[in-house]
């Protein structure tokens, strides 16, 4: 398979993907690069190194076992020792306790964050909003946002704490991984599993979006339930990359690793994207969805009531019992939901983008109670286990 090349617009030419979720994939960028009959032969084709990346315990049952074999020009262990990154990153958290974050039952909403003026790539533009648990204990999650204006140059990022699920809100992401390349547009999402090295280019300039991170587990498709065999999320909607590699001498190339919420760097003299062939079921992947307009974010903590605002509620019930269903198109609101109570980072609570008047959107709700008759209500107010609602705008 030929390596993708850049087109005149600065984006990547058409990429090939493999369809499926949790499948055992295989891909090779050079014919015959994948060994046959064994994973780790004494001599691999083309003089490649065999390397396994494990997403679960080595002895996990077959149904749960996740791992891939990578056949690369130089092994990933070929680097100098790691050192704390200088300057450090003060806005990443993976240990949520009273020292790093706070709890509040108040409904919160943030306006869209401004893209920074200073050159900022995905790593420096990433910041934590809230979360629960600990990456050290391998249990919990973190919700981040990012705002960046430049591509990653001369470096790759590796998250040793958990899986990233990235949802770009503005600007495409061109993501190079050890398994190949992925183009992710607003309205799509991408999962970068724990341990994979990746680099993010921004072909459209400034970019902004959301990131969910899980500790000690991996994202799964929900069970089908009462909907039946044809659920809303189909395995064929998910796309894995095909093998792509570069063989370059790159003195001073930097691996940035997130480890326990802190950033460390190590130098090496070659690109980590030197995997000529691979096979397995532990891979980066994306899924397609409908596009949505840029918006903000809101946080509704455990058992905190929330729901349609006054304007939306009144407009809905004014349509009466005979009103036809109303389709809202051209926008998407998506939700990161957890039963764990989120702790909010101080910079998120103190952000100038916090909407201090968020509570007012419900203040105008009045009583419609009548002893003489009933009134149909097509909207509901709820209190549930807790959610972060993203891409929405109250009353939209």
Q: Which residues are annotated as a binding site for Fe cation?
A: 306
What is the distance between the alpha carbons of residues 140 and 138, in angstroms, rounded to a whole number? 7
Query: Cis peptide before 356, with omega less than 30 degrees from 0?
Result: no
Question: Could you tell me the CA-to-CA distances from 285 to 23, 57, 260, 325, 392 in Å, in that order?
Answer: 11, 21, 24, 35, 25
Q: Which residues contact 183 (CB under 8 A, 6 or more apart)?
A: 11, 12, 15, 172, 173, 174, 175
Annotated binding residues for homogentisate: 306
Q: How far apart are CA 33 and CA 45, in angstroms?
A: 5
Neighbours of 296 (CB within 10 A): 20
Bridge partners, 382 (sequence order): 306
Helix or strand run (H / E) with residue 349: helix 346-349
What are the residues facing 214 on neighbouring strands?
141, 163
Q: Strand pairing of 249-259 and 155-159?
A: parallel
Other CB atoms within a 10 A radius of the CB of residue 380 amount to 8
CA atoms within 13 A on the CB side of 254: 15
Query: What would the two tokens of residue 300 be?
Result: 């509704």
The DSSP secondary structure of 189-253, one letter per residue, reads EEEE-TT-EEEEE-TTS-EEEEEEEEESS---PPP-GGG-SS-SS-GGGEEEE-------EEEEE
Annotated binding site: 306
What element of type H or E holds 100? none
Contact 249, 270 (CB under 8 A): yes
Q: Go through the chain and tell me how many residues it has.
A: 396
């Amino acid at each position: 398979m030929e390596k993708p090349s850049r087109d005149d617009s600065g984006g990547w030419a058409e990429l090939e993907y493999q369809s499926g979720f949790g499948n055992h994939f295989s891909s090779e960028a050079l014919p015959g690069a994948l060994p046959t009959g064994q994973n780790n032969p004494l001599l691999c084709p083309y003089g490649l190194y065999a390397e396994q990346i494990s997403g679960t315990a080595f002895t996990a049952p077959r149904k749960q076992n996740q791992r891939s074999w990578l056949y690369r020009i130089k092994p990933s262990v070929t680097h100098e020792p790691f050192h704390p990154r200088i300057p450090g990153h003060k806005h990443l958290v993976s240990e949520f306790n009273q020292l790093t974050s706070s709890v509040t039952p108040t409904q919160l909403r943030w306006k869209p964050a401004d893209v920074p003026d200073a050159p900022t790539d995905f790593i420096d533009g990433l910041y934590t909003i809230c979360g629960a648990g600990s990456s050290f204990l391998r249990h919990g999650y973190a919700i981040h946002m990012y705002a960046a204006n430049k591509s990653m140059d001369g470096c790759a990022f590796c998250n040793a704490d958990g899986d990233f699920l990235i949802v770009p809100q503005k600007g495409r992401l061109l993501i190079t991984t050890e398994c190949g390349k992925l183009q992710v547009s607003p309205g799509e999402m991408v999962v970068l599993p724990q341990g994979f090295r990746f680099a993010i280019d921004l072909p459209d300039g400034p970019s902004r979006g959301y990131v969910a991170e899980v500790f000690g587990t991996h994202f799964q498709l929900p069970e089908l339930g009462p909907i039946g065999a044809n659920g809303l999320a189909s395995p064929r909607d998910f796309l894995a990359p095909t093998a792509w590699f570069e063989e370059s001498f790159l003195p001073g190339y930097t691996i940035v690793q997130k480890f326990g919420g802190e950033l460390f760097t190590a130098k090496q003299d070659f690109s980590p994207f030197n995997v000529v062939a691979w096979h397995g079921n532990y891979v980066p992947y994306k899924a397609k969805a409908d596009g949505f307009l840029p918006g903000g974010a809101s946080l509704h903590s455990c058992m905190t009531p929330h729901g349609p605002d006054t304007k939306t509620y009144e407009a809905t019930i004014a349509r009466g019992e005979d009103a036809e269903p109303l389709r809202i198109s051209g926008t998407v609101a998506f939700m990161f939901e957890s039963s764990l109570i989120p702790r909010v980072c101080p910079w998120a609570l103190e952000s100038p983008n916090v909407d201090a008047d968020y509570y007012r959107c419900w203040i105008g709700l009045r009583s419609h109670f009548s002893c003489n008759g009933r009134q149909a209500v097509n909207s509901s107010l709820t209190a549930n286990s807790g959610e972060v609602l993203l891409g929405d705008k109250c009353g939209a």
